[in-house]
């Protein structure tokens, strides 16, 4: 029985880490040369050439400098996903830095898609990112509410190889059938309000997604996928979540000096938070699917979670402008 309990606990813990509450951040802080699809919290989809972690990071004026490496891929191969708390309404945004380094092998006239939002674990994708070659050194960027190439709407701007761009996409759930909307922005103002999209596609008459809970990284085919570098990925529920000047934390990261969260696991309905400053702090607890179940601002170290069920949670702590995210187990 103890072995069965341990196995179930491990599965639930892994699931909690994978389905991160929003907003979440991926800075590819893995060893250069490692395969992305084998990293904790990353789901491998199909087979083929690896998605590789490249040396160094991409940068963009206004964004906090990346502390990790970057993702690199080209041609056909394995795909991967990063799971987050399922969303079924309103708008989901994602952003990233993109650098296309080589278009030589790309021959497709319709382009291909390389990122997108995913309905659960299915192959139904939304707000997909498309790239279409113009010539050896320039390309267009577009989006599509789903994946039919003929429906893709491209920005008229010609973008250059070996140049880093900030790309933002969104998927909006609307009430009627066949009316969800995908939007695209390139190089918007950091920290500003949401501007008019460069490209927009309404899924007129199509089958809308019922939810999104995964971000897709897709290698496409040898004829439509150029050599790409991707970095500084953000997924959130507001424009500011994905265009902020401050990098959000991945689960387990900590910028609060002297932070200690104990006991963990929690056995008596109370856990404690201490820091070097021991200042007033905001504490937010999310359940395994990313639903907020507790939010409090307090100067006390004791946090009462007696009304929460046993399980795995994420606790986000903000103190003096600094934030940390920790996994919390309640028994």
Taking residues 157-186, report their average pLDDT.
96
144 plus 191 within the same structural domain: yes
- The residue assigned the tokens 């085919």 is 221
Global confidence as pTM: 0.75
- The residue assigned the tokens 């200042």 is 279
Cα distance between residue 184 and residue 5, in whole Å = 46
Which residues constitute the domain of residue 309?
260-330
Structure tokens at 166: 């900030």
Taking residues 94-101, report their average pLDDT.
98
Lowest mean pLDDT among 10-19, 76-85, 243-252: 10-19
Residue 252 has pLDDT above 70, yes or no: no
State the Cα angle at 219 between 215 and 223, rounded to 5°. 145
Question: Which pLDDT tens digit goes with each residue over 197-222?
Answer: 999 999 998 899 999 999 999 999 99
Residue 82 has pLDDT above 70, yes or no: yes
**In whole numbers, what is the pLDDT of the chain averaged over residues?**
88
Q: How many Cβ atoms are within 10 Å of 238's Cβ, its own excluded?
A: 15
274 plus 149 within the same structural domain: no
**C-alpha closest to that of 84 among 231, 242, 319:** 242
207 plus 83 within the same structural domain: yes
Confidence of residue 290 (pLDDT cuts 50, 70, 90): low
270 plus 164 within the same structural domain: no
Taking residues 289-317, report their average pLDDT.
89
278 plus 236 within the same structural domain: no
Tell me if 90 is assigned to some domain: yes
Tell me if 247 is assigned to some domain: no
164 plus 36 within the same structural domain: yes
C-beta separation of 154 from 199 below 8 A: yes
293 plus 267 within the same structural domain: yes
- The residue assigned the tokens 């933002």 is 168
**CB-count exposure of residue 272 (10 Å: 0-12, 13-18, 19+):** middle
Distances (CA, A) of 98 to 68, 162, 262, 289: 15, 9, 40, 29
128 plus 223 within the same structural domain: yes
Q: What is the CATH number of the domain that holds 317?
A: 2.60.40.10
220 plus 318 within the same structural domain: no
Last residue of one domain, picked from the residues 209, 242, 275: 242
**C-alpha closest to that of 306 among 280, 279, 254, 270:** 270
Alpha carbon 216 to its chain's center: 9
Burial readout 185-201 (b: 16 or more C-beta within 10 A, e: otherwise): bbebeeeeebeebbbeb
In this prediction, what percent of the chain has a pLDDT beyond 70? 90
Report H helices in the chain. 2-18, 239-242
Cα distance between residue 221 and residue 128, in whole Å = 15
Confidence of residue 324 (pLDDT cuts 50, 70, 90): confident
Which residues are registered as beta bridge partners of 200?
183
Q: What was the pLDDT predicted at 10?
A: 39
**C-alpha closest to that of 51 among 36, 41, 68:** 36
Q: How many Cβ atoms are within 10 Å of 268's Cβ, its own excluded?
A: 9
Q: What is the CATH number of the domain that holds 184?
A: 2.60.120.200
Residues comprising the chain, all counted: 331
Lowest mean pLDDT among 52-56, 146-150, 232-236, 321-325: 321-325
Confidence of residue 5 (pLDDT cuts 50, 70, 90): very low
Element (H, E) at 81: strand 79-87
Task: Give residues with Cβ within 8 angstroms of 8, minimum separation 6.
Answer: none
Distances (CA, A) of 42 to 139, 216, 219, 278, 321: 29, 10, 15, 35, 29
Cα distance between residue 217 and residue 128, in whole Å = 10
Q: What was the pLDDT predicted at 64?
A: 78
Number of domains comprising the chain: 2
Q: What was the pLDDT predicted at 289?
A: 58
**CB-count exposure of residue 242 (10 Å: 0-12, 13-18, 19+):** buried
């Amino acid at each position: 029985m103890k072995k069965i309990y341990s196995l179930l606990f491990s599965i639930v813990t892994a699931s909690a880490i994978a389905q991160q509450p929003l907003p979440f951040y991926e800075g590819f802080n893995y060893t250069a040369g490692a395969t992305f699809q084998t990293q904790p919290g990353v789901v491998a989809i199909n087979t083929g050439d690896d998605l590789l972690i490249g040396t160094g990071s991409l940068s963009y004026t206004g964004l906090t400098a990346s502390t990790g490496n970057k993702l690199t891929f080209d041609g056909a191969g394995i795909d991967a996903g990063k799971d987050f708390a399922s969303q079924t309404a309103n708008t989901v945004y994602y952003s990233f830095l993109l650098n296309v380094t080589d278009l030589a092998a790309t021959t497709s006239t319709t382009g291909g898609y390389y990122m997108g939002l995913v309905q659960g674990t299915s192959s139904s994708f939304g707000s997909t990112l498309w790239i279409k070659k113009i010539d050896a050194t320039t390309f267009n960027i577009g989006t599509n509410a789903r994946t039919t190439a003929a429906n893709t709407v491209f920005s008229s701007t010609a973008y250059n190889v070996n140049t880093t761009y900030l790309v933002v996409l969104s998927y909006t759930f609307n009430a009627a059938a066949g009316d969800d909307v995908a939007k695209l922005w390139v190089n918007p103002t950091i920290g500003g309000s949401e501007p008019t999209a460069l490209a927009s596609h309404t899924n007129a008459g199509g089958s809308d997604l019922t939810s999104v809970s995964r971000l897709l990284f897709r290698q496409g085919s040898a004829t439509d996928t150029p050599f790409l570098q991707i970095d500084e990925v953000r997924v959130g529920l507001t424009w500011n979540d994905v265009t902020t000047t401050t990098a959000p934390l991945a689960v387990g990261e900590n910028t609060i000096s002297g932070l200690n969260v104990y006991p963990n696991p929690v056995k008596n309905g109370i856990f404690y938070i201490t820091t070097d400053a021991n200042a007033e702090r905001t504490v937010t607890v999310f359940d395994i699917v990313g639903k907020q179940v507790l939010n409090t601002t307090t100067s006390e170290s004791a946090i009462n979670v007696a009304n929460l069920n046993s399980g795995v949670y994420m606790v986000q702590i903000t103190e003096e402008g600094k934030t940390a995210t920790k996994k919390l187990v309640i028994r």
